[in-house]
Structure 1
Amino acid sequence: MDRLYLMTVFVAVAEKESFAGAARQLGMSPPAVTRAIATLEARLAVKLLDRTTRYVRVTEVGQGYLQDARRIIIAADEADHAVVGGNAEPRGHLVVTAPVLFGRMYVMPGIIDYLRAHPGTDVSALFLDRVVNMMEEGVDVGIRIGELGDSSYRALRVGQVRRVVCASPAYLDQFGIPTVPEELTGHTLVVASSMSARADWRFQCQGKALTLQVKPRLVVSSNDAAIEAALRGIGLTRVMSYQIAPMLASGELKIVLSEFETPPVPIHIIHREGRHASAKIRCFIDLMAARLRADSSLA
C-alpha cells in the first residue's frame, strides 16, 4: 500500500480515537482501515496504537510518528495545491467561527459576499463566545479577538479593537463625565457576563496597570444587553469598541476615560492549512482580510 495513504489512515484513527470514526471520515470500510493500520505497523515493526473494544490510544512511539506524519501530509497537500495554482474555483463546504457580535456585525456580510461570488460553495457559521477547538469541531477558518496562544495555526492580523467605557450622552449630562477610573465607584455601572456582584475593570495609568474592582448595579448575561442598558441611560458599561461602533458613529453612545485604556487587542484570521490552502479557504480569507482591514472601526 502507498505510504502516504497509510499515514493518512493512521492520522485519522489517531485523531478520531476510533477505527469506525476514521472510516466514516475517509469514506472507507472499517475492515479496510484495520488492514491499513496493520500494514503500517508491520512495515515499521512497531506498535502505533493500543486498542481494546472500548478505546483506541496512540502509543508513546506512535505520538512521535503522528507528528511527523501530519507534517508530511501537510507538505504533500501544499505541493498538490501549488500545482493546481491560484486560479482554482472555490468549491465545497466551509466552516467559519467568530465571536457572536463580531460574527453578526462583520463576518456575516463577508460570508454573504463570498457565497454570491462562489456558487459552488456553502458555509456553516459558528458564532460563539468561546474559543473553539478548530480541529475537534471541524472548523476551517476562525476569526479570533485577542492574543493567540496556539502557534500551530496560520494567522493573519487584520485589525485591532479597544476595551472602552461608554455611556449615553443623557447619562453623562445628568451624572457627569468621570475623569479618572477611581471616579467610577460613584457611578451606576453595567457589567456583562458576570455571575458576581463585583467585577474587575482594567486600565493603564502612566504606563502602569491599574485594576479597579467595581460593584455593578446591573449584571447581564450578554454584551448586547449591556449595550442596550447603556443606550437607555442607566449607566456606564465596558465593552469592545467594535461592539458599539454604530452607536458611536450616530452619537448614541460616547467613550469616556480613553486616555486610561489598556493596549488594543489584535484581530486575527486563523486556519490550519499551509500557505497553499485550498481555494475555498484561500478565497474566503482574502475576502475577509480585505473587508476587515478596510473598516475604520477596526484600525
Structure 2
Amino acid sequence: MDRLDAMQVLLTAVECGSLSKASRRLGQPLATVSRKVSDLEDHLRAELLIRSSRGLELTPAGRTYIAAARTVLEQLHEAERAAAGEYVEPKGDLVVTAPVMFGRLHVLPVVTAFLAAFREVSVALMLTDRVTYFLDDQVDVALRIGDLPDSGLIATRLGAVRRVTCASPAYLASRAAPVTPQDLVGHDMISFGSVSFPTTWRYSSNGKEVAVPFRSRLSVSTVEAAIDAGVAGAGLIRTLSYQVVDPVRDGRLRLLLEGFEPAPRPVHIVYDKRNRLPLKLRAFVDFAVPRLRERLSAVQI
C-alpha cells in the first residue's frame, strides 16, 4: 500500500464529503478509492470514517489522523521544493489556474512574458471554470473571480469586473430597450442553461435584489457563443464586463440596465500560505500582480 497516496485519497474523500465525489475528482474508480481508504484503516487498525446515507463522518481517530496527514503531505511538498532548489533561485514547474476566458485573454499574455523573463521556470496553465483545489490539483497559484470563502489562503485583489446586460443595435431597433429589470419580460434571452428550464437573472434596486426568471430562446454552452449570438441580434446576453469590451467599444453591443447591476465582482490572485514561498511562486506573484491590475483597469467599460 502506498500510504502517501492513501492519505491523499482520504483527504480528498473528507473534503468532498463522499467517496463517490472523491472518485470523480481524483479520476479513479469508486472501488479503487474505497479500497485505498479501507486498506489504510486496516493498516492503522482503526476506523477513520463512518459511512452513512448522509455522507462521511470522521471518527475521533479519523479527526486526529486527518490533521496529521495534512501536515505530513505539506511537509513532503516543502521538502521536495527545497531539494529541487526552489528557495535558491526561481526554477522548477509552476501550476497556474484561471477561468477559461479570463485566462486566455489576460493571464496567458502575462504568463508568456513571465516565461521570457525567468528562463528556469516552466508553467502549466490550467484553464477551467470549475473550482480547483490547491492540494488535490497541485495548484500553486489561482486567479479567482468573485467573493472568496474564508480560508488560510493568501489573496491579493487585482480589481473588479461587472456583470452586464447587452444587446445589439439591430435587436434594439426592433424591440424597445428595457429600462428596468421588469421590462425584460417578453424579450428574447440568451442563456448558458437549458432552454427547457427557467433561468434567473438577478439585479439590484435600492439595495434590494430583483430576480427576473425567464425561459431562454437560445441556450449555449460557452460565453464566446453567447456573445456571438448577441452581436448577431439573437437576443439579450449577460456576461462579465471584461468579456464584451471589444463589441461594446466598437458599437456591436450596447450596455443595458447599468443602474441595476449588482455589486462588481472582485478579481484576486490566490496562493497557499506557507512559511517560505518558493522563489518561482514569489517571482510570479510579483510579476503578475501589477500587470494584471493594469490589464483589468484597461478593460473597464
Measured against the shorter chain, the TM-score band is 0.7 to 0.9
For residues 98 and 63 of structure 1, the distance between their equivalents in structure 2, rounded to whole angstroms, comes to: 32
Show the counterpart of 2:157: 157
- Deviation at residue 115 of structure 1 after TM alignment: 0.8
The verdict on how the C-alpha distance between 1:205 and 1:212 changes in structure 2, with shifts beyond 3 A counting, is: same
Shift in Å at residue 238 of structure 1?
A: 0.7
Structure 1 residue 192 and structure 2 residue 186: aligned?
A: no
Identity %: 37
| Aligned counterpart, 2:7 | 14
CA 1:243 to 1:201, structure 2 compared with 1: closer, same or farther past 3 Å? same
Match of 2:25 in 1: none
Counterparts of 1:193-272 in structure 2, within 5 Å, are 193-194=193-194, 196-272=196-272
Report Cα offsets for 1:21-64 as digits up to 9, x if no partner: xxxxxxxxxxxxxxxxxxxxxxxxxxxx62359xx968744643
Give the SS at the match of 1:224.
Answer: helix
Alignment of 1:82-97 (within 5 A): 88-97=88-97
Q: In the aligned structure 2, how far is the partner of 1:163 from the partner of 1:229?
A: 18
Equivalent runs, 1:1-40 vs 2, <5 Å? 14-16=7-9
Shift of 1:208: 0.6
Report Cα offsets for 1:204-242 as digits up to 9, x if no partner: 111111111022111111111111101111111111111
Distance, in Å, in 2 between the alignment partners of 1:248 and 1:274 is: 42
Query: Is the CA contact 1:169–1:254 (under 8 Å) kept in the aligned structure 2?
Result: yes
Contact 2:134 2:140 in 1 (8 A): yes
Runs of 5+ consecutive residues of structure 1 not aligned to the other structure: 1-8, 19-48
The list of structure 1 runs, each at least 4 consecutive aligned residues, that deviate by more than 4 angstroms after superposition, is 9-13, 56-59, 68-78
Instruction: Return the alpha-carbon distance in structure 2 between the equivalents of residues 61 and 87 of structure 1.
Output: 36
When the two structures are superposed, what TM-score results if normalisation uses the length of structure 1?
0.74
RMSD of aligned Cα (Å): 3.3
For residues 94-149 of structure 1, give each alpha carbon's deviation from its aligned partner in whole angstroms, at most 9, with x where no partner exists.
11111111111111111101111111111111111111122111111111111122
SS in 2 for 1:186: coil
Partner Cα separation in structure 1 for residue 89 and residue 246 of structure 2: 35
Partner of 1:178: 178
Q: Distance in 1 between matches of 2:263 and 2:115?
A: 35
Q: Which amino acid aligns with 1:129?
A: D
Q: Which moved more, 1:288-297 or 1:109-118?
A: 288-297
Q: Which amino acid aligns with 2:269?
A: I
C-alpha separation in 2, matches of 1:60 and 1:168: 60
Q: Which moved more, 1:283-292 or 1:236-245?
A: 283-292
Aligned partner letter, 2:112: I
Corresponding residue for residue 21 of structure 1:
none
Going from structure 1 to structure 2, the CA distance change for 1:168 and 1:68 (only over 3 Å counts) comes to same
**2 CA distance for matches of 1:184 and 1:173?**
16
| Shift in alpha-carbon separation, 1:136–1:185, aligned structure 2, 3 A | same
Residue 259 of structure 1: CA displacement?
A: 0.5
Once the two structures are TM-superposed, the CA of residue 288 in structure 1 deviates from its matched residue by 2.0
**Distance in structure 2 (CA, Å) of the matches to 1:146 and 1:121:** 29
Residue 256 of structure 1: CA displacement? Answer: 0.4
Structure 2: gaps (5+ residues): 12-39, 50-58
> Are residues 154 and 71 of structure 1, via their aligned partners in 2, closer, same or farther at CA, if it must alter by over 3 Å?
farther
From the CA coordinates, give the structure whose radius of gyration is larger: 1
Q: CA deviation at 1:14?
A: 2.1
Give yes or no for the alignment of 1:50 onto 2:44: no
Q: Following superposition of structure 1 onto structure 2, how do residues 76-155 of structure 1 map, counting pairs within 5 Å?
A: 88-155=88-155
Task: Quickly say closer, same or farther: Cα 1:17–1:94, change in 2 above 3 A.
Answer: same
Q: TM-score, normalised by structure 2?
A: 0.74
